[in-house]
Amino acid sequence: MKKTIYLLLAFAAVLVSCEKTEKEDVVIAVNGDYIGTLTVNYQETDYETDSVKVSFQPNEAGDSASITLYQVRFVPQMPVTIDITVPGISVENTENGALLSCVQSIPLAMGGEYPRYTVTGFQGEVKGEEITFSLVFGSYPTSYRGRLQEE
């Protein structure tokens, strides 16, 4: 009986020593500039703008980020292009990339806040060399799909 117990204990010790060590928290979501297509739904019509640059900037801990859209004209009637930043996006790192979400955020543009175009329902993903997200700017459903820009 003692031999059986010793064998079981020895076997358990071998199993424990062979277990993989717990992975360190690796920040998968990294700074990156993407080029892609922005689609805005305005008065029940989708307006697509190609070659839109988006910068993804996670914080040091990798658990939140901001996204900046550069030189954006949301609809053809818009007289100017602007850079607009969406702060306060939650980042959840996964094995394949990162999930992005934000219930509500006041965007920043031209040196100030734009509460009229409060962002709601932000959902997205960074996976490999691609980023996708959708949100509502004020009352305008918007989506983006881009690919990591080569340096």
Roughly how many angstroms between the first and final C-alpha of the chain, as a whole number? Answer: 67
Residue 41: CA atoms inside 13 Å, Cβ hemisphere, count? 10
Q: Where are the domains positioned within the chain?
A: 2-148
pLDDT of residue 28: 54
Give the integer Cα–Cα distance in Å for 119 and 105: 5
Query: What is the DSSP secondary structure assignment for residue 116, as one 8-state letter?
Result: G
β-bridge mates for residue 57, sequence order? 66
Record: fold of 2-148: Lipocalin (2.40.128)
Give the integer Cα–Cα distance in Å for 75 and 56: 23
- Three-state SS for 120? strand
pLDDT of residue 75: 82
pLDDT of residue 76: 81
- Three-state SS for 13? helix
pLDDT of residue 138: 92
pLDDT tens, N- to C-terminus, the chain (151 residues): 443 333 333 444 433 344 434 444 444 556 899 999 999 999 999 999 999 999 999 999 999 999 999 999 888 888 999 999 999 999 999 998 999 999 999 999 999 999 999 999 999 999 999 999 999 999 999 999 999 997 6
